[in-house]
Amino acid sequence: MDTAKERYQGFLEQMGEDSFLLPYKEACQRIQRKLEEINAAYSKQLGRTFISQITFRIKTPESCLNKMLKKKYHIEKEAAQERLNDISGVRVVCNFLDDIYKLVEILKEDEEVEIVKTKDYVKKPKASGYQSLHVIVLIPVQDVLKKKVEIQIRTQAMNFWAVVEHHFVYKKGNYGKNEFEKDLKECAKAIYKIDKKMLLLRERMESAQMTEQRTG
Tell me the CATH number at 160: 3.30.460.10
Mean pLDDT, contiguous 10-residue spans, the chain (216 residues): 84 95 96 98 96 97 95 95 96 97 97 96 95 97 88 97 83 61 92 97 93 81
Q: What is the pTM of this model?
A: 0.91
What's the length of the chain? 216
Backbone φ and ψ for 172, nearest 5 degrees, come out as: -105, 10
Distance of alpha carbon 109 from alpha carbon 137, whole angstroms: 13
Domain range for 65: 4-215
Per the structure, the count of domains in the chain is 1
Q: What is the structure's pLDDT at 70? A: 93
Cβ distance 69 to 75 under 8 Å?
A: yes
